[in-house]
Amino acid sequence: MRSYRAHFLAAALSMVIWSASFVATKYVYQSMAPFTTGLVRFACAAALFMLVKFVFARIKGSSRSSEGAAGGGQGALFQLFGFDRETLKLVALSGFLGITCYFGFENIGVKYTSATNCSLIVASFPALTAFLEFLVYRKRPTVVQVAGMALAFIGVAVIVASASGPVEPGRNELAGVVFLMAAGVAWAFYNFIVRKVSAEVSSFDLSAVQSVFGALLFVPLALVDANQTQQLGPDSALALLFLVVGCSFAAYILYNWGLEGISAATAVSLLNLIPVLGVVFGALVLGESVSLQQVVGGAVVLFGIYLGSREPEGG
C-alpha cells in the first residue's frame, strides 16, 4: 500500500507541474511558434537528461540501468541505457506519441484557445483513455466508469459552449478543441506503451530516450514555423526554462515512475488536478476571466472523473 501511495503521489505531483505548462507556453509564444517551442523545449530537456546520465555513469563507472541488458548494435548513445532493439522501438514510439504528437497538437490548441479552456478540456482525457482501452484491449468499463465518462464529456461540452461569445483575434475555439482532443488520443496510446516497458527500464532512462526521439521527430515540424521565432525576452526565457526543467525533465520522470506502480487509467485520472490548478494559474498569472459556466462545466468534469477513479486497482 505504501508503494502504491508513493507512485500515486509521484504521478499527482507531475500533474501539479504540468498544470502550469499552459500559462508558461503562452509566455513562450511571445517569441516562438508552436512547433519551434516543442523542438527547443525537448531538445534542451534531452540534453539535460544526457548530461545527468553521463555524469552519473562517470561517477559510478558504469550505467546501473544497463545491467543485464543487451547493447545489440544501437550505437554508443543507446548502449549507455542498455535498451534491446524491441524495447528501443517501443520507447521511440512512445516518444513520438507522448512528446511529438501530444505537444505538437497541444501547442496548437493552446494557440487557438485560452489556457483555462485548455486545462479544462484536458480533464476529459481519462474518459477518452478508458474508451480507447476498451477498443484496444477489450477491457470493459464498469457502470460507474461509464457514468464518469459521460459526465466528463458533458462537462467539456459545457466548457466549449462558454466560449460562444465574442472571440479574440487569432482565437478559433473549435480548432483548439479538435487539436486538444487529438492530443488526448496520442496521450492515451502513450500510456499503453509506457505500461508495457516500465517494468523493464527505469523511469529516468525511459524519459531520457523519449526526449531524444521526441525532439528529433519535432525537427521537420519546426521547419514549418522556424522563421517566426524572435529573440527571447526575460518572461519568455523564464517560461521556457520552466517548461524544460519542470515539465519536460522532472514531471516526466515522476509520471513514468508513477506508472510503474499504478494503472494507466488511474494515472490518467489524475488529470483532474489540471483543470483546478489550470484555472487558478490562468486567472492569477494571465488575468483570464473565469465564467460561472466554466466553473459548472469544470465541476461536472471533475465529478465524472472522480466516479471513474473510485474503482479498485485492476492491474
The whole-model pTM stands at: 0.74
**pLDDT tens digit sequence for 65-118:** 444 444 444 455 555 566 778 888 899 999 999 999 988 887 778 778 776 677
Q: Can you tell me the distance from the alpha carbon of 288 to that of 271, in angstroms, rounded to the nearest whole number?
A: 21
In a domain, 93, yes or no: yes
Q: Please tell me the total count of domains within the chain.
A: 1
87 HSE (CA, 13 A, CB side): 23
In a domain, 60, yes or no: yes
pLDDT tens for the chain, 315 residues: list them.
Answer: 568 788 888 988 998 898 888 788 878 888 888 888 889 999 999 999 989 988 877 777 644 444 444 444 445 555 556 677 888 889 999 999 999 998 888 777 877 877 667 766 776 777 788 778 778 777 776 777 777 777 877 877 777 666 544 445 556 777 888 888 899 899 889 988 988 888 788 889 899 999 999 999 889 888 887 777 777 888 889 999 999 999 999 999 999 998 888 777 777 777 767 766 766 776 777 677 777 877 787 788 778 767 765 544 444
pLDDT of residue 78: 52
For residue 268, is it within any domain?
A: yes
41 in a domain, yes or no?
A: yes
Any domain includes 315: no
- Domain containing 163: what range? 2-309
Residue 89: all three cell numbers together: 522501438
Query: What's the rounded Cα separation, in Å, for the pair 120 and 304?
Result: 13
Is 314 inside a domain boundary?
A: no
